[in-house]
Chains A and B, each alone.
Chain A
Amino acid sequence: MASGIKIWEEFAKIGKLGWQQGLFSSHGGNMSIKVGEKMYITRRGSMLGSLAEEDIIETAVNGIDANISLASTEIIVHRAIYQNTSALAIFHAHPPIATALSMEYDEIILDDSEGSYILKKVPVISAQKTVGSKEVAKIIPEYLKEFKVVMLRGHGSFATGLLLEEAFSFTSTLEHSCKIMLYRSGMGKKTFRDSIW
């Protein structure tokens, strides 16, 4: 993976930033990019805040190969997203405040300036099995055809983008806006308004 060194460096940079922002626990979250018919995804059980070159697994977007056994548990969802949307990068995290809100609401409408400009609205979906499940793989891509980020209730976020940095930035914006919402609710303010986005 000669040129893959650059890919690995990008994963490590984004992973470290995500961990520093508290978007996942020590071994939580995963991310991938699509290059042609291949994808590069983080290793199962890797620490996103401290990724090494061997933590990036190359595998096929369609079909199956031996590397599947090394890939993140969520690879089924990543593949389904690539197969059904025009995404080139996926960032999956467990942002605590957004996840908490997802357990209370069916959609998260962001009304601070940054959130309303960039994301506006994030749908929340429910599933019986929330980790690496076919059910999630079927539902999530449908929402990502229209939205930049989707929350899986009680589990975490799936964000897509043209670039890994872009997908990460959407997740970061989501959590930041949710934090503002939380502060406002502590002040007794109503947080959600309607949105026709």
Chain B
Amino acid sequence: MNIEYNLYHVDLTNNLVKKMNADNLLMKEYLGGRGFGVRLFFNYATPDINPVDERAPIFFLTGPLTGSSGSLTGRFHCVFKSPLTFTVFDSSCGGYAGVYLVKNDIHGIVITGKSQSPSILYVEEGKITIHDGKYLRGKKISERVSKLKEKFGEDISYITCGPAAERGVLFSNLTSDNRFFGRGGGGIIFDSKNLLAIVVKKREKSTSNPADRERFNYINDEIDKWIYGNPITSQGLPEFGTSVLMNLVNELKLLPHKNFQESYFEEADKISGESLKNKVIKRRACMGCKIACGRVTEKGEGPEYETLWALGANLGISDLDALIEFNKLCAEYGVDAISLGGSIAAFLEINQITFSNVNIIADLINKTLNAEQEGAEISLGSKRLCEKYGKKELSMTVKGLELPAYHPRGIYGMALSYGTSNRGGCHLRAYMLAPEVLGIPKLINRKIAKGKAGIVIYLQNSHCASDSAIFCRFLGLAVSDDYLSRLISAYTGLNLTTVDYQKIGERIYNLERVFNIKAGFKREDDFLPSRLSFDEYESMINEYYVARGWDVKTGIPSKRKLKELGLEWLLE
């Protein structure tokens, strides 16, 4: 294999930085990124650990193609146990830090322990050092970045949390170069370790070194043909960003409105990609990206489709300027807009407060970001909020994670993927929008239940492997798995078939499932809130378990399945 994977362990309690032995076998079975992180978690802690226990690890991991010239391979991954959901959690981020790490000959960092005083990890010339970070405390993210640049220079990339993490907002996230490890509360993990930022100094170094350069270049060119030939990746996303979906999803009556009470928002067009286009001053791309889905307005990066939905359509807000301002607040305080919007929607419904009032929403956002007054309750997320009020049924969550911008009653595959997502209610685990709305690879009936499980499983496995390689999710809209497995093979020399690629994904998905079971999750946690469920859902879950090789009554992977995937060590 052509890859050397340099993993570093930072023990903040003892101020130690140690280079670990790379395990090529593990790479063959998990590739990198998401898979590597979930597998390595078991080496550092048990799944039942409290996420904010100082022994709980957080991983930042690149994939075997990070730093290569492969298209859409510039992302990197973060893995931790979520303080919001208590599930295993992984999050993907664009920006530059992943590539900068590889250029520093560092492919992954695992952080454990808790620093005695606020700290910063600094990477330069292949070395990691620990620095004082007190001066970042209490600062908004733009101020933190300015301070970091003053201290370490303009040519840096960073990962940092915002002040919301210090105030205990459970859906605080991590920011890297104005992109986000968006969901699950990674900011809280930073805060629990007294870690304020990771800074990576830019380093000029060629890192694209394919095992078979001729084949790698050929396959990469073939992939580019599809990126440029597909109207979604060559026109829709570059022209309108992710909010190209707003009108499309609304017209299909899939756009959740008023805490999912409805699935159509009369004024969606005012907050669509077409409307946002007038406010965009430039586009922005991650490293190695040919799509450039990022929008920048005069207020900064974003907003994305999910933000426009969560704080807009779902709350009944169609004032685009207000949404751009809300988006900026989320970016400055470091919070996940989906969870923020979902939690505020639940709060409005519980307290029978009118939706659609910009002033009320703005006030609640400010209070939540500062965890003040009623915002303190909202900052704990929709599930805890609704439980506190004895209105559990009003929490639009799965496994404690607020659901995203697709109403599951109208799109059954997406519903199943929400329910069976290992990190809680998430659209990206299987991204069923592709076959059920976008017609990739072919359009299928959104409201047919039978047979959907197999497709959900295929895509969940596929995206596990993709998140481990690491590819941008949008690459999967342009090319199928056979391109991706060939690209990995040509770069690493691993010689993966499409089936091997799927098998890696299946191994990771089952490992995550076992993690969650050991953390206390059960079959009933795979169900949707009653408002969102439908008659066929239980039969879909049963079909899913059978197809996965899991026990139908408990949802636990069978011993046979674990052995088949080389996970028999979990049985010990």
Contact = CB atoms under 8 A, between A and B. Distances in A.
A binds B: yes
A165 B215 CA distance: 30
Given A4-B450, A7-B450, A37-B547, A145 B455 contact: no
A166 B442 contact: yes
Given A146-B482, A162-B441, A117 B546 contact: no
A141 B441 CA distance: 21
A73 interface: no
A166 B444 CA distance: 11
A86 interface: yes
A137 to B, nearest CB: 16
Contacts of A161: 441
A69 interface: no
Interface in A158-197: 161-163, 165-166, 169, 196-197
Contacts of B482: 146-148
Contact of A85 (B448, B455, B499): B499
A5 B168 CA distance: 53
Contacts of A86: 458, 461, 498-499, 502-503
A86 B454 CA distance: 9
B229 interface: yes
Interface residues of B, number: 33
B499 A145 contact: yes
A190 B288 CA distance: 38
Contacts of A88: 454-455, 458
| Chain A interface category by residue count | 20 to 34
Prevailing SS type, chain A contact patch: loop
B225 interface: yes
A117 B225 CA distance: 8
A88 B455 CA distance: 8
Contacts of A136: none
A138 to B, nearest CB: 15
A166 B481 CA distance: 14
A148 B485 CA distance: 13
Nearest to A85: B499
Contact of B497 (A33, A117, A146): A146
Given A6-B445, A163-B435, A169-B442, A196 B214 contact: yes
Nearest to B547: A36
B153 interface: no
B497 A145 contact: yes
Contacts of A165: 442
B442 A163 contact: yes
B449 A163 contact: no
Nearest to B499: A145
A4 B449 CA distance: 11
A67 interface: no
A33 B219 CA distance: 30
B500 interface: yes
Interface in B445-467: 445, 448-451, 453-455, 458, 461
A44 interface: no
Interface string A139-163: 0000001111000000000000111
Nearest to B506: A86
Nearest to A3: B450
Given A3-B450, A161-B441, A196 B499 contact: no
Contact of A197 (B486, B503, B546): B486
Nearest to B214: A196
Interface string A27-52: 00000011111000000000000000
Interface of A: 3-4, 6-7, 33-37, 84-86, 88, 117, 120, 145-148, 161-163, 165-166, 169, 196-197
Interface of B: 214-215, 218-219, 222, 225-226, 229, 435, 441-442, 444-445, 448-451, 453-455, 458, 461, 482, 486, 497-500, 502-503, 543, 546-547
Given A7-B450, A86-B499, 18 more contacts: A3-B449, A6-B445, A6-B448, A35-B450, A36-B546, A37-B546, A37-B547, A86-B458, A86-B502, A120-B222, A145-B497, A146-B497, A162-B442, A162-B458, A169-B442, A197-B218, A197-B219, A197-B222
